[in-house]
Amino acid sequence: MSLQVRSQVSLKPFNSFGVDVQARLFAEAHSDADVREALAYGQAYDVPVLVIGGGSNLLLTADIESLVLRMATRGIRVLSDDGSKVVIEAEAGEPWHPFVQHTLAQGLSGLENLSLIPGTVGAAPMQNIGAYGVEIKDVFAGLTALDRHSGELRDFSLEECNFAYRDSLFKQEPGRWLILRVRFTLNRVAHLHLEYGPVRQRLTEQGIEHPTATDVSRAICSIRNEKLPDPAVLGNAGSFFKNPLVPAALVAQLKGEYPDLVAYAQPDGQMKIAAGWLIERAGWKGFREADAGVHKLQALVLVNYGNASGLQLLDLAQRIQKDISERFHVDLEMEPNRY
């Protein structure tokens, strides 16, 4: 058996919150064969298999009585290049930000707005990750996933993935699809998305009038580094809550009481409210209780100051949800997967 299965492994190094829980069993997959072997192991010994990537979207609240399989597959390849558009494929275990940097180094644009997002390539379509006006669905060319029910491989097109705001088929059917590799359509001639004010402002401050995709990536990295704590220094999972989608009538009502409410119109007529604004306005920004807290610069980020448990972080999140619901009549949804 090539797969190395270890017992009683701390997951502290494998989740960006730095929560110290134990996995009953732990293994890393470096190939499709390892993935199949891990699933067969789970079946043979009647042990559930929990698949993780970079651990940047996890809140672990107890020891995991499963085989935790960390995707560590690597590989990036160009599938087609017509001189204008390039289809590039990456293995699920590739770390996301280095992959983005690799595409930029190859003179390809499309992923620059998604710079410095933690996690792996395989997790990106699950969440339909997005930032600064771009989502995975905007550059998605397809993916290959293993159906854990049948053991068969399946290729998914854009339409089949049911992408929505921080959502996808793979989130809607948890535990069924194991993403192995993802394909993206990128451009040799940059089509930059500079609608997000702070990005344009940062480029102007840097004296860049005609930015390249790499310039945009650097600007976004500098903004993110200012706003978001480094998980290696301060445990966190990035944005902890989704920006809620609400009826326009509710926003109009709230603006009567809170004229500075931050909300954005959506194509379907709904409004997207900035969850960070709600949390900050409710007074939670900078809150700390023991080692669980809300970041002092970004209210959307919950942080582990050292030894917070997953349950302490979850309790804090639920208290924030309750307060926001009572205060603004808006329900906040947590982003991280909880176990």
Two tokens, residue 308: 């917070």
Residue 37 CA to residue 289 CA, distance in Å, equals: 43
Query: Is 157 designated active site?
Result: no
User: SS3 letters for the chain?
Assistant: CCCCCEEEEECHHHCCCCCCCEEEEEEEECCHHHHHHHHHHHHHCCCCEEEECCCCCEECCCCEEEEEEEECCCCEEEEEECCCEEEEEEECCCEHHHHHHHHHHCCCECCHHHCCCCCECCHHHHHCCEECCEEHHHCEEEEEEEECCCCCEEEECCHHHCCECCECHHHHCCCCEEEEEEEEEEECCCCCCCCCHHHHHHHHHCCCCCCCHHHHHHHHHHHHHHHCCCCCCCEECCCCECCCEECHHHHHHHHHHCCCCCEEECCCCCEEECHHHHHHHCCCCCCEECCEEECCCCCCCEEECCCCCHHHHHHHHHHHHHHHHHHHCCCCCECCEEC
pTM above 0.85, yes or no: yes
Q: Of these residues, 28, 37, 135, 335, which one is catalytic?
A: 335
| Residues 187/108, Cβ–Cβ less than 8 Å | yes
Query: Is 115 designated active site?
Result: no
Q: Of these residues, 166, 176, 200, 288, which one is catalytic?
A: 166
Residue 229 CA to residue 279 CA, distance in Å, equals: 17
Predicted pLDDT at 196:
81
Q: Which domains does the chain have, with CATH numbers?
A: 6-71 (3.30.43.10), 76-227 (3.30.465.10), 235-338 (3.90.78.10)
Predicted pLDDT at 1:
57
Phi-psi region of 61 (alpha: psi -120 to 50; beta: other; left: phi over 0): alpha
Predicted pLDDT at 171:
93
Each residue's pLDDT expressed in tens, for the chain with a length of 339 residues: 589 999 999 999 999 999 999 999 999 999 999 999 999 999 999 999 999 999 999 999 999 999 999 999 999 999 999 999 999 999 999 999 999 999 999 999 999 999 999 999 999 999 999 999 999 999 999 999 999 999 999 999 999 999 998 899 999 999 999 999 999 999 999 999 998 888 999 999 999 999 999 999 999 999 999 988 999 999 999 999 999 999 999 999 999 999 999 999 998 999 999 999 999 999 999 999 999 999 999 999 999 999 999 999 999 999 999 999 999 999 999 999 999
Query: Is 335 designated active site?
Result: yes
Environment class of 171 (CB within 10 Å of its CB; exposed 0-12, middle 13-18, buried 19+): middle
Q: Of these residues, 218, 239, 281, 309, which one is catalytic?
A: 239
Predicted pLDDT at 180:
99
